[in-house]
Amino acid sequence: MRKQFLFFILLLFTLKAVAGDDKKQEVDSLLVKSIEFAGRGDLASYIEIAIKALNLANAIDYDEGKAKSGSYIAEGLVTAGLFKEGLKQLDRIETTDYYKNEIFMQSEVQRLRGRAYAELKLNQQALLAFRRQQGLIKKMTGEKQIKSYQFNYESLSVVFLRMGQLDSMQKYTELQLENLKVFEEKDAAMRYQIVYENLGRLYVERGDFARAQQYLDKALELMNKYKIPVVLNTYGTLGLLEKKRGNFKKAAAFYEESLAKKHAVGSRIGIKNSYRELADFYRTTNLDKAKADHYEMAFSRLNDSLENENRQVVDQVLNQILKLKDHESATKVTESVKISLIAVVILLVVSIFFVWRSKHNRKVLGQKEEALQETEIINKELTEQIGENKFNNLIDLAKSNNPEFLTLFAELYPQFIQALKSFDSNLRSTELEFCAMAFLNFSTKNIAEYTFVTVRAVQIRKNRLRKKFEIPSDVDFNNWMRGLSEKSH
């Protein structure tokens, strides 16, 4: 009987191992599929497939799959502007053994942290994360190390440009150029083009127009030589260069060419930025008031459209994250049940093998203790669910213009309310409600619909609040509101 018992246990673990290998391959396959969606620019599908991979990896306790799918989800969340959720996902990755043993994964987590902090305008935290990443990259070898350095230098140069520290920006941009020399020009043409463009922008800012022209000419040469399909903003930088030289007509031609190139590749965000660029240019130079008004209107329409689309993507992603939380809770319960069942089976077999009668009472006691533990787990999950229900209730109150909306919002996000009142302690409740809707990332159209006013009325109120809080015109209103909460925290 003892041999039969050992054979049964061995067979059980063998079958589990074979099934686990198949599931691991399925996780890896889902991650490949997720990357394909990222290449197409389908952010919602990219995150959705990565979440499926994570759920499966959790179900089979596939540590590498947990870490990799988690990093994909974090990248998608940061791209969607859901920085808090993205940072939480990075915290989860750090609990895996794969993260603890793999230098590249540790480097990627620091890169994503730095990217999230940079988007939140937390420049010092971003610099700290990118420098930690550098320490990890030093431990790598080969092409993986070279490419990691390339993106690290680029990230640092962007942060230093935002901070106005041009010497540091120059240092890291030139390090990018030096780093690229291990590749043939044709194999890294786009990377070279980006670096030349950034150096051109740097020297425009410094007022060294001759060197700026040299680097921008190199960028144009690469674009034409290798038929680079994506034009970032080389023509826009050429426009800025000619504007600073005082050649307004030539600058206008470059700005218009930049817009045409972005139309050709269908870059709607690029088109929006060009509209803003052209409206400001024609207005500040007094070159053509009619064109300034035309591009201002075009910018406003496209910006509202993109805000609405972005909101839809964010809603999709938030729904997926809520489902992920539900799945994680269900997985915890399922795993608890599985462990309990296995424990009961083994306890039963061992009890029969030894002394059935003498072990029977212990089995009953063990079952009661397991039931108590399950009750505690369920109570904990119910507590978490109450928080999610409050958030869903908050959205419903906002959509129905219910006066209880502000009360519940203040309960869920007290730091944001305090941060607003630090600007003006006499803010009216209607202003607080409007800012709360912006914090929740409602679009202009949504706010108008839920508060029963026109879109124009919402835009006017946004402009008034921009002046009151001194929000720059080129900063997204909703992003500023969400960033305010982070700063106060």
pLDDT of residue 325: 58
Condensed to tens digits (0 to 9), the pLDDT of residues 208-217 reads: 999 999 999 9
pLDDT of residue 268: 84
The token pair at 108 is 């990627």
pLDDT of residue 232: 61
* Backbone φ and ψ of 208, nearest 5°: -90, 80
The closest alpha carbon to 180, from 146, 230, 142, belongs to 146
Separation between Cα atoms, residue 152 and residue 111, nearest integer Å: 7
Q: What is the CA radius of gyration of the chain?
A: 28
Condensed to tens digits (0 to 9), the pLDDT of residues 299-330 reads: 999 988 888 876 776 676 667 666 665 555 55
In the predicted structure, residue 9 carries a pLDDT above the cut 50: no
The token pair at 93 is 């990755």
Q: How confident is the model at residue 362 (pLDDT cuts 50, 70, 90)?
A: low
pLDDT of residue 113: 95
Condensed to tens digits (0 to 9), the pLDDT of residues 184-195 reads: 888 899 889 989
Length of the chain as a residue count: 489
Separation between Cα atoms, residue 71 and residue 75, nearest integer Å: 6
The token pair at 305 is 């459209």
Condensed to tens digits (0 to 9), the pLDDT of residues 413-445 reads: 888 888 888 888 888 888 889 999 999 999 999
Whole-model pTM: value is: 0.58
pLDDT of residue 70: 92
The token pair at 306 is 């993109």
The token pair at 270 is 């690029």
Condensed to tens digits (0 to 9), the pLDDT of residues 321-359 reads: 666 655 555 554 444 545 455 544 445 544 554 554 556
Separation between Cα atoms, residue 84 and residue 274, nearest integer Å: 30
Q: Which of 5-19, 21-35, 90-104, 409-423 has the lowest mean pLDDT?
A: 5-19
Contact 75, 37 (CB under 8 A): no
Map tokens 């124009």 to a residue. 456
* Backbone φ and ψ of 120, nearest 5°: -85, 5
The token pair at 33 is 């599929």
* Residue spans per domain, the chain: 330-385, 400-489
Separation between Cα atoms, residue 218 and residue 221, nearest integer Å: 5
Q: What is the DSSP string of 163-193?
A: HT-HHHHHHHHHHHHHHHTTS-GGGSHHHHH
Contact 329, 384 (CB under 8 A): yes
Contact 133, 104 (CB under 8 A): no
pLDDT of residue 295: 93
In the predicted structure, residue 231 carries a pLDDT above the cut 60: no
- The residue type of 102 is E
pLDDT of residue 22: 87
Q: Is 299 exposed, middle or buried (0-12, 13-18, 19+ CB in 10 A)?
A: buried
Q: How confident is the model at residue 456 (pLDDT cuts 50, 70, 90)?
A: very high
* Backbone φ and ψ of 319, nearest 5°: -60, -40
CATH fold, domain 400-489, is Rossmann fold (3.40.50)
Condensed to tens digits (0 to 9), the pLDDT of residues 458-474 reads: 999 999 999 988 889 88
- The CA–CA distances, whole Å, from 305 to 85, 119, 301, 356, 479 equal 25, 22, 6, 72, 16
Q: How confident is the model at residue 21 (pLDDT cuts 50, 70, 90)?
A: confident
pLDDT of residue 93: 94
Q: What is the largest CA-CA distance in the chain?
A: 99
- The CA–CA distances, whole Å, from 215 to 38, 207, 231, 241 equal 31, 14, 15, 12
pLDDT above 90: percentage of residues in the chain: 45
Q: State mean pLDDT over 222-235.
A: 80
Condensed to tens digits (0 to 9), the pLDDT of residues 41-87 reads: 788 888 999 999 999 999 999 999 999 999 999 998 888 888 888 89
pLDDT of residue 485: 66
Q: How confident is the model at residue 481 (pLDDT cuts 50, 70, 90)?
A: confident
Q: State mean pLDDT over 155-168.
A: 91
Q: What is the DSSP string of 76-133?
A: HHHHTT-HHHHHHHHHHHTTSHHHHH-HHHHHHHHHHHHHHHHHTT-HHHHHHHHHHH
Q: Which residue has the higher pLDDT, 320 or 200?
A: 200
pLDDT of residue 423: 83
Separation between Cα atoms, residue 397 and residue 321, nearest integer Å: 21
C-alpha 193 chain-centroid distance: 26
In the predicted structure, residue 280 carries a pLDDT above the cut 70: yes
Q: How confident is the model at residue 254 (pLDDT cuts 50, 70, 90)?
A: very high
